[in-house]
Amino acid sequence: MSGEDTPTTALPERTYLLVRSCRQIPLNDQVVGIGWDDVNFSDFPDAEILLKQMWDDGWETGSNTNTIRRFCGLSKGDLVVVPWWGTIAIGEAVGEATYNSRFSGMMGANQQRVRFPIDYEGNVSMIARTDLSEALQRRLKIKRTVADLWEFSDEIEKHFTAIDSGKRASYILDIESKQAELLESFKSQLLQNIQSGKTGLQTGGLGMESLIAELLRCDGFEVTHLSKQHFGSGIADADLKASKTNSLRTDEFLIQVKHHGGRTDDHGIKQLIAINESDFPDYSQHQLVFVTSGSLDREEQTLAAKHDIITKDGSELIDWILDALPQLDRRIQAQLGILNVPHIHS
């Protein structure tokens, strides 16, 4: 058997993680970054000491506790998979945590150094999602910022070995580079159209609410639209209730949706906080989610994080739409102005 045909297997001492790095951080910077920008993770020797300090300071990390543990626990040699539009990058952790205030307010100041293999043009080597197994492609759709990928370790090792040894065809890289450019342009135009109302969606907040409901259904959730009086006459409010049950557990969410063209203030987040602070026992175990087509400033992101509220801004909404496209109803795609036409690269 030649060296090229030698199978690659997982290394038992390695951790294999999905990391949804801040998209404003170029991969060529050789780092991955996540949020909690008001806390400098690198000031703490380990995750448990960091988490204790955050809890003492009033942070409610909730379902994000393991995200913080995994990110802070990255060690030298661990492999990191970073989704990037229609591709992924795989890098080897250096084992050095850093904090870059330049990305504060972008959910990317807390960083880990990663060695990404470089292609023949000096850019990070990318792998098309279509080159991955169907199971790994599905796993990459998980909405967590950091997630364990050990069950795909052999596949990840195979791809990392290939790109690290430079055994990928330059033509394929050209195609993937062009695809990334087209996707970036597509995302920018789609976000602009949604924010400005240049779509066929129902006007006002109802169109956005229906779009989010469809995206949730694509992810396998059962969705219920809640009336404006569902939580009474106070400030407490949510637009959608979503649940998904498997043999092990039931995931339940309350989602508040805002259709904004620019900056989104904290009103919608405070509406969700009021649900937790009021007497609604039926929803005490629901994860709260705030989705806006606009942008969220650092203050709003911090407020949401302190109350364990998941946020999705306009750019993250576009990523969600892209992930759901294969399952998204053609009628909804048409309302968004999305054409399903093959493109030839010349």
Q: What is the pLDDT of residues 177-233, one digit of tens each?
A: 777 788 889 999 999 999 999 999 988 778 999 999 999 999 999 999 999 899 988
Whole domain around residue 16: which residue ranges?
Answer: 3-168
Give 27's pLDDT tier (boundaries 50, 70, 90).
Answer: very high
Amino acid occupying residue 303: L
Give 2's pLDDT tier (boundaries 50, 70, 90).
Answer: very low
Inside any domain, residue 129: yes
Task: Tell me, yes or no, whether 251 and 131 share the same domain.
Answer: no
Average pLDDT for the chain:
90
Q: What is the CATH number of the domain that holds 312?
A: 3.40.1350.10
Inside any domain, residue 315: yes
Q: What is the CATH number of the domain that holds 128?
A: 3.10.590
**Domain count along the chain:** 2
Inside any domain, residue 179: no
Inside any domain, residue 270: yes
- 75-93: string of b/e by CB count within 10 Å (b at 16+)? eeebbbbbbbbbbbbbbbb
Task: Tell me, yes or no, whether 129 and 16 share the same domain.
Answer: yes
Rg (CA), the chain: 21
Task: Tell me, yes or no, whether 141 and 221 share the same domain.
Answer: no
Cα–Cα distance, 69 to 66 (Å, whole number): 5
Q: What is the pTM of this model?
A: 0.63
Task: Tell me, yes or no, whether 250 and 151 share the same domain.
Answer: no
Residue length of the chain = 346
Inside any domain, residue 195: no
Task: Tell me, yes or no, whether 84 and 22 share the same domain.
Answer: yes
Amino acid occupying residue 201: L
Task: Tell me, yes or no, whether 159 and 224 share the same domain.
Answer: no
Task: Tell me, yes or no, whether 162 and 210 share the same domain.
Answer: no
- Is the pLDDT at 67 greater than 90? The verdict is yes
Long-range contacts of 213-222 (CB under 8 A, 24+ apart): 213/240, 214/324, 214/328, 214/329, 214/332, 215/320, 215/321, 215/324, 215/328, 216/240, 216/242, 216/255, 218/324, 218/327, 218/328, 219/141, 219/143, 219/244, 219/324, 220/244, 221/251, 221/253
Task: Tell me, yes or no, whether 34 and 125 share the same domain.
Answer: yes
